Structure 1
Amino acid sequence: MTNIDLFAIGNALIDLEFKVTDEFLNEQNLQKGTMQLSDGETQQKLLDHLNNTQVNKGQASGGSAANTTVAFSALGGSAFYACRVGHDEFGSTYLKGLNEAGITTSLKSVSNGVTGTCVVLSSADAERTMQTYLGITAELSDEQIDLSPLRSAKWLYIEGYLSTSDTARAAVKKARQIAKDNNVKIALTLSDPAMVQYARQGLDELIGDGVDLIFCNEDEAQMYTKTDSVEAAFAKLKLLSNEVVITLSEKGALVGNQYEQFYIDGRKVNAIDTLGAGDAFAGAFLYARNNGEDLKTSTELAILVSSEIVSQYGPRLELTHYAKLLQNFQKECA
């Protein structure tokens, strides 16, 4: 296997997307803007109700870290994705999509069981609410991960959603040690306010004694640090990470390290669906940093790519679109 730039670990999920009203979310006791875990039977009941009453927007391969890895790869980086899918149609579709995006996967990822699914509910204000049945990915462990590519990678990327799984956290612990032994930088995303609220101890374990780069949005940052301002949250997160990126939706992002911090303005777009925006931001940011760009330039590219994501339904762009965005961005910067 050739050397890769990014080694990512995350859940493998097929997104089942619907457009819904706020009234529907309230009726189903779903907390808007968060991800809630579910069992297969409960999710199927929700799907039946959705198919009868709401607008189906189709399905797509998803998973937070996978979306990040697709953006990274489509922009020109080389990547490996470690995950677990079932030996079923969804699993085959999932891995095929990653491979078509130029991402390397392993046959170790395929196991007997059901591939995870995420019901994605987009409301009129473009906010996304998710109900997830993890399926076989709930049992992701180091036995399903080919860790050999990590030894020569430049970045290890960890999805915060893994904080809910004992076996996944153990796998991440092993991956972190391999990364440290081989001078591989470690990046992590807090993923979702629900992970901070309900799996705080698991996130602490994923972060361990610190990381090189942490991604989060404003709500996640303040909840995790127990502060009431983004600036105060940033100050605390700097104690855990060399570089900190706090996304601020349409307002842009607060970015920095031990020596500097600054705001980068967002781009005005017609937001339709926020699903995957933070993931794409992380992928573009990592791509730029991996190619030697400074924090400011990396953030500007990340904002450009993520703004395109929210202008459409679904968590990923057409693969050729990423390259076009990069080309246009480079022209702007020239």
Structure 2
Amino acid sequence: MKKLDVVVVGELNVDLILDQIQGFPELGKEKIATAMTLTLGSSSAIFASNLSSLGARVGFIGKLGVDVFGDLVLTSLKKRNVDIGQIIVQGATGTGATVAMNYDHQRAMLTYKGAMDELRLAEVRWDYVQTARHLHLSSYFLQSGIKPDCAALFKRAKDLGLSTSLDTNWDPDERWDPELYEIFPYVDIFLPNEDEAMLIATCKTVEAALDKLAQHVKTVVIKLGKSGALAKQQGKTCKSDGFKVAAVDAVGAGDSFDAGFIFKWLRGGDLNQCLHFGNMCGALSVTKAGGTAAFQSREQIAQDFENYFGYKEK
């Protein structure tokens, strides 16, 4: 039996989330936000933390600075029982941080990448990776240190017998590298949102993007926000509707969907079951401020699933 269910290779940062903002920022002017949350951020860390809270055994490979933000990240992941033994703490560069400004159901984000730029493939310990069943990477475009070697990372993971998943997240440069297609042969599950999927596939509709991407990846899952998710696997297309909840904060909703989908997939769920479970996790995430606040423990999650969605694990 493997020691870990999932090893995450990814970026680490904190999120400073501002809510109830009185107008949009303008140069030379000060605006007021009447609510603020400082919490664990980064797509990879939110995915790892919430996946662990669901009950998976999760380890993390990443890099942090020697600072209070790095301490917050380590404490938060450890509290959720994520193995942090392979997180490199170094003093050369500070820990990354994202300022998220929420406006109704939309948000603007500004990120200082910091140490998330510094992780290199040579720092990935393969004896650790092979203790896991599955490898996941998020925020491909933000991790410039390891990005050129992502195809090699995924190929080596496959050679070691791991299944793999990838969520690129948004490309701040909006180049949408065609080099991604060199990684796809080694990716089992690709998890973009609808905008990312259409831009990566250079298609004008979600359906066309799904069809094109499914020619390159075994399972393509496109997140549609509150409308749910659409997926294609071995020629079969599935759609699962989203859930209506009172939204507080959308930060981390897509990462929470990823965690739910992978959790159910590793337990043998079919495509419809994985989509349904992912949608519940994405919806649950938006009921609290921050990407991990709604995922405190297995018991709390199970109770919220029953209360919000009438769902009980069999």
Task: With the length of structure 2 as denominator, give the TM-score of the two structures.
Answer: 0.89
Aligned residue in 1 for 2:7: 7
Moved more, 279-288 or 97-106: 97-106
Aligned residue in 2 for 1:183: 161
8 Å CA contact 2:249–2:288 kept in 1: the answer is: yes
Measured after TM superposition, the shift of residue 104 of structure 1 is 0.6
Is 1:282 the counterpart of 2:262? The answer is: no
Q: Structure 1 74/108 Cα, relative in aligned 2: closer, same or farther at 3 Å? A: closer
In 2, the alpha carbon distance for the partners of 1:64 and 1:110 equals: 19
In 2, the alpha carbon distance for the partners of 1:284 and 1:232 equals: 25
In 2, the alpha carbon distance for the partners of 1:217 and 1:260 equals: 19
Question: Which of 1 and 2 has higher RCO (CA within 8 Å, sep 6+)?
Answer: 1
8 Å CA contact 1:142–1:170 kept in 2: the answer is: no
In 2, the alpha carbon distance for the partners of 1:96 and 1:202 equals: 35
8 Å CA contact 1:249–1:266 kept in 2: the answer is: yes
8 Å CA contact 1:280–1:309 kept in 2: the answer is: yes
Measured after TM superposition, the shift of residue 95 of structure 1 is 1.1
In 1, the alpha carbon distance for the partners of 2:198 and 2:87 equals: 37
Is 1:307 the counterpart of 2:283? The answer is: yes
How many equivalent residue pairs?
309
In 2, the alpha carbon distance for the partners of 1:298 and 1:95 equals: 29
Aligned residue in 2 for 1:73: 52
In 2, the alpha carbon distance for the partners of 1:90 and 1:176 equals: 29
Consecutive unaligned residues in structure 2, runs of 5 or more: none
Measured after TM superposition, the shift of residue 201 of structure 1 is 4.3
Q: Structure 1 23/326 Cα, relative in aligned 2: closer, same or farther at 3 Å? A: same
Is 1:260 the counterpart of 2:260? The answer is: no
Measured after TM superposition, the shift of residue 204 of structure 1 is 4.4
8 Å CA contact 1:72–1:79 kept in 2: the answer is: yes
Q: Deviations over 1:234-288 (max 9, x none)?
A: 1011012111111111111112201311211111112221110000000011011
In 2, the alpha carbon distance for the partners of 1:306 and 1:176 equals: 26
* Letter of the 1:176 counterpart: F
* RMSD of aligned residue pairs (Cα, Å): 2.6
8 Å CA contact 2:141–2:171 kept in 1: the answer is: no
Consecutive unaligned residues in structure 1, runs of 5 or more: 29-44
Is 1:61 the counterpart of 2:40? The answer is: yes
Q: Structure 1 245/108 Cα, relative in aligned 2: closer, same or farther at 3 Å? A: closer
Aligned residue in 2 for 1:84: 63
Q: Deviations over 1:92-141 (max 9, x none)?
A: 221121111111122551111311111111112x2222110011221111
Of residues 163, 169, 181 in structure 1, which corresponds to 2:141? 163
Q: Structure 1 323/191 Cα, relative in aligned 2: closer, same or farther at 3 Å? A: farther
State the SS of the aligned residue for 1:109: strand
8 Å CA contact 1:150–1:178 kept in 2: the answer is: no
Q: Structure 1 165/10 Cα, relative in aligned 2: closer, same or farther at 3 Å? A: closer
Aligned residue in 1 for 2:170: 192
Moved more, 99-108 or 301-310: 99-108
8 Å CA contact 1:80–1:149 kept in 2: the answer is: no
8 Å CA contact 1:6–1:156 kept in 2: the answer is: yes
Measured after TM superposition, the shift of residue 162 of structure 1 is 3.1
8 Å CA contact 1:71–1:322 kept in 2: the answer is: no
Aligned residue in 2 for 1:32: none
State the SS of the aligned residue for 2:192: strand
1:222-237 alignment, distance < 5 Å: 222-237=198-213
Moved more, 223-232 or 107-116: 107-116
Aligned residue in 2 for 1:116: 96
Task: With the length of structure 1 as denominator, give the TM-score of the two structures.
Answer: 0.84
